[in-house]
Amino acid sequence: MSPSTKLTAALLGGVLLAVLTGCGTSAEKGNAEAAAPSVRAKPALPGMPPVLDVKDVYAADRPGKLSPVVKDFPSRVYVPNTNSDTVSVIDPATYKVIRTIKVGRQPQHVVPSWDLKTLWVNNDIGDSLTAIDAATGKVTRTVPVSDPYNLYFTPDGKYAVVMASMDRQLVFRDAHTMKTAKTVPVSCAGVNHADFSMDGRYFIVSCEFSGELLKVDTARMKVVGRQKLPFKGAMPQDVKLSPDGGTFYIADMMANGVWVLDGKKFTTPKLLLTGKGAHGLYVSRDSKEMYISNRGEGSISVFDFAQRKLAKKWRLPNGGSPDMGGVSADGKVLWLSGRYNSEVYAIDTASGKQLARIRVGGGPHGLAVYPQPGRYSLGHTGVFR
């Protein structure tokens, strides 16, 4: 964005900007069940590690399957506080904040690198990425990067993909040096979340402010599809691939549910209602369920992949604003930031019971639970394969 636009955004303050990056208030009646197209093994993106199981893209994410790279890393929860310009570090064993790290202006997400060694803090208004050594928890460097709202990595490990929301760009950068390789302008507004196909050859991107989806060819670094969601005022958020690779799910905080999309055909998706302010999507360690945070009503919906429908709903006691997060390495705890309550929630995945509420800085957003099982990271708060 231009200097004047950037300055204006900074002056608006964290609370208004948090609203702009999501709060659902309207709803539409409707329901749909997820389709599950058959998936056949296809040539993958060159350089991508082979898929372990063509029936389950998350087969490498089982409890205890920590990569040798991270097996000795301390277990921590890293919480970016957008209004405080800090990252709170929580010890999950004690539910206590043990450290607060000063970072750049308006940190949005803490993102594990493809090689699992680094945690990148996305300082959106600060136009920088802060690198944290995941082995020591220490800041190692700060890299100038324009408008890094969110960050992903191509499955071959070559490139980081910066979701430059206000700049209206997808910026492919070297995964290690962060030097720009290619800038892809987009016509939609508010690119923010994504996920890759099982073969890694394309990825689906949500455009929050214009209510659109993009399909991007990974190797060509080119937008090959675009569609408007069939809901007035749609604000798509997190994107997640089904275990069998046949379906993409896209949370929509204004439609109050999850869009069910055939990524290959890229036809018009159908809406599955979940709850007010649907926002984050997280797959269980056994690949059987998906946890959906409903930020506008303080609840978590649980989607059953086999039955292709919602199985249950957990409500936080005394409400809250569950946003982004991740699942513990053993799969027993779901961690979510409380965006408007300056707190973090720890939830038992067996019972849905709240285990803890932990006070953190202002505007906690894309927290990362680390380390987690998996061979490599595709980015966001931890999408591992």
Let me know if residue 14 belongs to a domain. Answer: no
The kind and range of the H/E element at 7 are helix 3-12
Q: Which residues of the chain have pLDDT under 50?
A: 1-40
DSSP 131-188: EEETTT--EEEEEE-S--SEEEE-TTSSEEEEEETTTTEEEEEETTT--EEEEEE-SS
What digits encode the pLDDT tens for the residues 212-244?
Answer: 999 999 999 999 999 999 999 999 999 999 999
Asked, for residue 13, whether it belongs to a domain, the answer is no
Cβ partners under 8 Å of residue 66, min gap 6: 329, 371, 372, 373
**What CATH number is associated with residue 110?**
2.130.10.10
Question: What integer pLDDT is reported at residue 26 of this predicted model?
Answer: 34
The domain tally of the chain equals 1
Output the six-digit token pair for 64: 């205890």
- In this predicted structure, what is the pLDDT of residue 64? 87
**Secondary structure letter of residue 225 according to DSSP:** E
User: Which residue shows structure tokens 């056994």?
Assistant: 286
Indicate the residue type of 149.
Y
Q: Which domain holds residue 322?
A: 56-370
Least Cα distance to 326 among 278, 270, 372 occurs for 372
Instruction: Look at residue 29 and tell me if it is in a domain.
Output: no
Tell me if 85 is assigned to some domain.
yes
pLDDT in tens, 57-76: 999 999 989 999 999 999 99
Q: What span, in angstroms and rounded, lies between the C-alpha atoms of 145 and 162?
A: 9
For residues 193-219, one letter each, b for 16 or more C-beta atoms within 10 angstroms of the residue's C-beta and e for the rest, the string is bbbbbbbbbbbbbbbbbbbbbbbbebe
- Residues with Cβ within 8 Å of 53's Cβ and at least 6 positions away in sequence, in order, are 59
Q: Is there a contact between 250 and 39 (Cβ–Cβ < 8 Å)?
A: no
Peptide bond into 371 cis (omega under 30): yes
Q: What angle do CA 221, 213, 298 make, to 5 degrees?
A: 125
Alpha-carbon gap, residue 336 to 344, rounded angstroms: 6
Using a cut of 0.85, tell me whether the model's pTM lies above it.
Answer: yes
Q: What is the pLDDT of residue 43?
A: 82
Residue 187 lies in a domain: yes
Q: Is 15 contained in some domain? A: no
Q: Does residue 41 lie within any of the structural domains?
A: no
- DSSP string across 229-261: -SSTT--EEEEEE-TTSS-EEEEETTTTEEEEE
- In-domain check, residue 228: yes
